Homo-oligomer: A and B are copies of this chain.
Amino acid sequence: MRQAGRFMAEYRALRARFGFLELCKNPEAAAEVTLLPVERLGVDAAIIFADILLPVEPMGVGLEFAKGEGPVIHRPVRGAADLAGLADVDPREATPFVFEAIQKVRTALSERVPLIGFAGAPFTVASYLIEGGASREYLHTKRLMHDDPSTWHALMERLVKVTVGYVNGQIAAGAQAVQLFDSWVGTLSPADYREFVLPHTRAVVKGLTPGVPVIHFGTGTAGLLELVREAGGDVIGLDWRVDLGDAWKRLGYDVAVQGNLDPALLLAKPAEIKRHVRAILDRAAGRPGHIFNLGHGVLPETPVEHVIAMVEMVHELSRR
- Interfacial residues, chain A to chain B (CB-CB below 8 A): 137-139, 142-143, 146-147, 186-192, 220, 222-224, 240-243, 246-247, 260, 262, 264-265, 267-269, 272, 276, 279, 299, 301
Contact = CB atoms under 8 A, between A and B. Distances in A.
Given A189-B262, A191-B276, A223-B241, 7 more contacts: A142-B267, A146-B265, A146-B269, A147-B268, A189-B240, A189-B276, A222-B222
A262 B186 CA distance: 12
B139 A301 contact: yes
A142 B224 contact: no
9 contacts: A139-B299, A142-B267, A143-B264, A189-B240, A189-B241, A190-B241, A190-B246, A222-B222, A222-B241
A279 B191 contact: yes
Given A223-B222, A223-B243, A142 B272 contact: no
Contacts of A139: 264, 267, 299, 301
Given A137-B299, A220-B220, A142 B189 contact: no
A222 B267 CA distance: 25
A264 B191 contact: no
A27 to B, nearest CB: 33
Contacts of A188: 241, 262
Nearest to A283: B191
B137 A268 contact: no
Given A241-B189, A243-B190, A299-B139, A268 B222 contact: no
Contacts of A191: 243, 276, 279
A192 to B, nearest CB: 7
A187 B188 CA distance: 17
A246 B187 CA distance: 18
B187 A272 contact: no
A142 B268 contact: yes
Closest 6 CB pairs of A and B: A222-B223, A223-B242, A222-B222, A146-B268, A142-B264, A189-B240
Nearest to A245: B190
A190 B242 contact: yes
A222 B143 CA distance: 24
B143 A267 contact: yes
Contacts of A268: 142-143, 146-147
Contact of A269 (B147, B242, B301): B147
A18 to B, nearest CB: 26
Nearest to A194: B243
Given A268-B143, A272-B147, A262 B192 contact: yes
A301 B140 CA distance: 11
A115 to B, nearest CB: 29
A299 B278 CA distance: 41
A17 to B, nearest CB: 28
